[in-house]
């Protein structure tokens, strides 16, 4: 089991800059990491991670990752959050999945999110057609 630590992710600029997300809320069920470069928590981008083992009914493992990106604008000289964009990735993993199958799942997920067709939907608001 990995120990709780900072998460460092590159941003989306042409020359990516690493952004450090530090633990801000930690419970057994949920870990929230915040980019604390802005003073107010409501303005800070966050990465959340939750993990649930299967219950007695034999359900799947549940690993969820959420990213919240508040959009901070200056209105009348005051910085305010006028909206928030979000990403949510939900993994539902069978207890019967082998280590190789779990490795395939994370590899396909990372590759799909990096794929130009899928990325265009987010970066350019360009839907797939055909």
The reported pLDDT for the residue numbered 52 is 92
The two beta strands, 30-34 and 18-26, are antiparallel
CATH placement of domain 7-96: 3.30.380.10
Read off φ and ψ for residue 74, nearest 5 degrees. Answer: -95, 120
* Structure confidence at residue 129 (pLDDT): 80
Residue 125's pLDDT is 92
Check: CB of residue 83 under 8 Å from CB of residue 69.
Answer: no
Domain extent listing, the chain: 7-96, 97-130
pLDDT of residue 130: 72
Residue 113: the pLDDT is 93
What is the C-alpha separation between 105 and 86, in angstroms, rounded?
22
Do the Cβ atoms of 68 and 48 come closer than 8 Å?
yes
**pTM, full prediction:** 0.88
Pick the closest to residue 60 from 89, 100, 102, 92 (CA basis): 92
Helical ranges in 23-98 per DSSP H: none
Per-residue pLDDT of the chain (130 residues; tens, 9 = 90+): 678 999 999 999 999 999 999 999 999 989 999 999 998 999 999 999 999 999 877 689 999 999 999 999 999 999 999 999 999 999 999 999 999 999 999 999 999 999 999 999 999 998 888 7
């Amino acid at each position: 089991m990995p120990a709780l630590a900072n998460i460092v992710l590159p941003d989306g600029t042409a020359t990516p800059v690493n952004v450090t997300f530090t633990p801000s809320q930690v419970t057994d069920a949920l870990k929230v990491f915040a980019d604390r470069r802005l003073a107010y928590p409501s303005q800070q981008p966050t990465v959340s991670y939750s993990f649930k083992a299967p219950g007695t009914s034999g359900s799947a493992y549940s690993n969820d990752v959420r990213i919240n990106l508040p959009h901070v604008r200056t209105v009348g000289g005051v910085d305010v959050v006028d909206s928030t964009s979000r990403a949510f990735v939900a993994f539902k993993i069978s207890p019967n999945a082998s280590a190789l199958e779990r490795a395939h799942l994370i590899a396909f997920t990372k590759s799909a999110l990096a794929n130009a067709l899928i990325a265009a939907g987010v970066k350019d608001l360009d839907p797939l057609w055909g």
